Amino acid sequence: MSAQPEPAPVELPPLHTLSLFVNNKPGVLVRVSLAFARRGFNIESLVVSEGKDERFSRITITCRGDRATLDQMVRQLAKLVDVVHAIDHTGEEAIEIEIALIKLEGGVEQRTQIFQIVEHYKAKVVDFGHDSLVLQVQGSSEKIDAFVELLRPFGILELVRSGKLLMARGRQTT
């Protein structure tokens, strides 16, 4: 009996980080997400916040797709009425950070191992119960992915991630 060959790993399209500067008005986020839905893009993370001027908001979106299709998407987004500008920051010099909260089962016998991982990743224990822990970690998406994978064997009860925050370095526009 011969062993069945393992299926080839699925190669995902590259991850892109888009930044939109938009008017801070009702309905803008709906129009932006509809533009993605109409073109068959899945938004992997989405962060919206008021800018330094309350009349405007910053939307940071991460999604997967080939460069040419995403370039076309950025041009379409820039044409929306309430979008001031849209930029794909993929491959650019930018500061990227994400925050995650992870709730673990964490009985007393496991805490030493968990605390070693927490210390290595410069995370924090933000809630400490008899039979659970809530941890906070910040950093690149890759760092958070690795942290979460190390914690899986301890029993993750809940996981909440902020989505990627991004700001262009220097005087470059975000």
Kindly report, residue by residue over 3-30, the tens digit of the pLDDT: 677 776 777 888 899 999 999 999 999 9
**Residues 107-120: what's their mean pLDDT?**
90
Q: Verify that 72 and 101 share a domain, yes or no.
A: no
**Residues 88-104: what's their mean pLDDT?**
91
Q: Verify that 22 and 62 share a domain, yes or no.
A: yes
pLDDT of 114 > 70? The answer is yes
Does residue 1 fall inside a structural domain? no
pTM over 0.85, yes/no: no
If one counts the domains in the chain, the total is: 2
Say how many C-beta atoms besides its own lie within 10 A of residue 170's C-beta: 5
Position 155 scores a pLDDT of: 93
Q: Can you give the CATH number for the domain in which 26 is found?
A: 3.30.70.260
Per-residue confidence at 2, pLDDT binned at 50, 70, 90? low
| Choice between 125 and 131, residue whose per-residue pLDDT is larger | 125
Q: Verify that 103 and 154 share a domain, yes or no.
A: yes
Q: Rounded distance, CA 151 to CA 90, Å?
A: 29
For 32-54, letters b (16+ CB in 10 Å) and e give beebbeeeebeeebbbbeeeeee
Per-residue confidence at 148, pLDDT binned at 50, 70, 90? very high
Phi, psi dihedral angles at 109 (to 5 degrees)? -65, -20
Per-residue confidence at 51, pLDDT binned at 50, 70, 90? confident
Q: Verify that 75 and 127 share a domain, yes or no.
A: no
Per-residue confidence at 58, pLDDT binned at 50, 70, 90? very high
Question: In which domain, by residue range, is 154 found?
Answer: 95-166
For 73-92, what is each residue's pLDDT tens digit?
Answer: 999 999 999 999 999 988 88
Which domain-ending residue is among 71, 91, 111? Answer: 91
For 153-169, letters b (16+ CB in 10 Å) and e give ebeeeeeebebbbbeee
Q: Rounded distance, CA 104 to CA 138, Å?
A: 17
Cα separations (Å) of 8 from 4, 5, 11, 50? 12, 9, 9, 43
Q: Verify that 134 and 155 share a domain, yes or no.
A: yes
pLDDT of 104 > 60? The answer is yes
Q: Please state which of the ranges 2-16, 51-65, 88-102, 116-130 shows the lowest mean pLDDT.
A: 2-16
Which domain-ending residue is among 91, 110, 129? Answer: 91
Q: Verify that 74 and 103 share a domain, yes or no.
A: no
